[in-house]
């Protein structure tokens, strides 16, 4: 008697795993390297980095090197920015960023340079102002900043009355490095005849290696000196 032998064949889909609809789920790929890594607002004690977010990245790893030293991993972040804090003034570093997901870590981004500003100087103290009737200008005086200063920067806000509190946006800078040098403790400000009230504040500025660090106005926003014009 003859017997029929049936051989079963099992097909294995190597391209992916089956889903409920009979299709396949593609394998997860290593993410692309972050693009457009750049330094943000400059400070005297930290470097702020930002970059374009990478699709499906779970987090980013930030690397830093200085001079010829090897790069070290500073830390990770789930956001497309990172703050490297606790740095000295006038420091310079190079940074790379990589993106990481379940499949692994991307190639690092291109190196980008980050710098810190000179130490921000403390503001001058005892800012005073008085309208001079004989000359028609306002005489401003102050005590020098205790720190190394390149120049001073005065800010003015013109007001219609003596009771309105000026917002920060109302102040605008007056003078320049030639008119308010570092060794100056006074400034004569000429105002228009229709001016009624003028508010002032002053900041100390330090410039080193083509980098400018400007301190807060004296003593800090929103404090100011108010001068009435008769």
Of 23-27, 112-116, 154-158, 196-200, which one has max mean pLDDT?
A: 112-116
- Euclidean distance between CA atoms 143 and 166, whole angstroms: 24
Beta bridge partners of 214: 205
pLDDT band at 15 (very low <50, low <70, confident <90, very high): very low
Range 28-115: architecture per CATH: Sandwich (2.60)
- Euclidean distance between CA atoms 121 and 65, whole angstroms: 28
Q: Show the tokens assigned to 52.
A: 């374009």
- Euclidean distance between CA atoms 202 and 88, whole angstroms: 26
- Interior CA angle at 172 toward 171 and 176, to 5°? 140
Percent with pLDDT over 70 in the chain: 85
* 188 pLDDT more than 60: yes
Name the DSSP class of 181. Answer: B
**What pLDDT sits at residue 23?**
53
Q: State the virtual CA torsion across 178, 183, 184, 185 in degrees, nearest 10.
A: 160
Mean pLDDT of the chain: 86
Mean pLDDT lowest for which of 66-80, 86-100, 134-148, 165-179? 165-179
Mean pLDDT lowest for which of 57-61, 100-104, 136-140, 157-161? 157-161
**Of the candidates 153, 139, 136, which has an alpha carbon nearest to the alpha carbon of residue 195?**
136
Which residues of the chain are in CATH 2.60.40.10 domains? 28-115, 125-228
* 182 pLDDT more than 80: yes
**What pLDDT sits at residue 178?**
64
Q: Show the tokens assigned to 156.
A: 């003015």
pTM greater than 0.95: no
What's the whole-number mean pLDDT along residues 79-105?
97
Range 125-228: architecture per CATH: Sandwich (2.60)
Name the DSSP class of 146. Answer: S
* 104 pLDDT more than 70: yes
* 19 pLDDT more than 80: no
Is the bond preceding 69 in cis, omega lying within 30 degrees of 0?
A: no
Alpha-carbon 165 to chain mean position: 28
* 221 pLDDT more than 70: no
Per-residue pLDDT tens digits for 51-66:
999 999 999 999 999 9
């Amino acid at each position: 008697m003859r017997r029929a032998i049936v051989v079963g064949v099992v097909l294995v889909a190597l391209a992916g795993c089956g889903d409920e609809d009979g299709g396949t789920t593609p394998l997860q790929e290593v993410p692309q390297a972050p693009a457009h890594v750049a330094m943000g607002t400059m400070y005297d004690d930290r470097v702020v980095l930002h970059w374009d977010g990478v699709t499906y990245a779970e987090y980013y790893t930030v690397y830093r090197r200085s001079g010829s030293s090897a790069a070290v991993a500073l830390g990770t972040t789930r956001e497309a920015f990172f703050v490297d804090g606790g740095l000295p003034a006038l420091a310079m570093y190079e940074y790379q960023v990589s993106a990481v997901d379940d499949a692994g870590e991307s190639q690092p981004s291109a190196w980008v340079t980050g710098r810190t500003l000179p130490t921000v100087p403390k503001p001058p103290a005892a800012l005073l102002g008085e309208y001079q009737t004989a000359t028609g200008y306002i005489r401003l005086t102050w005590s020098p900043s205790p720190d190394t200063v390149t120049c001073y920067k005065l800010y003015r806000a013109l007001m219609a009355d003596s009771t309105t509190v000026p917002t920060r946006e109302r102040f605008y800078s007056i003078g320049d490095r030639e008119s308010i040098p570092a060794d100056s403790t006074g400034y004569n400000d000429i105002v228009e005849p229709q001016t009624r009230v003028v508010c002032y504040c002053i900041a100390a500025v330090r410039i080193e290696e083509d980098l400018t660090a400007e301190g807060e106005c004296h003593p800090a926003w929103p404090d100011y000196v108010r001068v009435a014009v008769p």
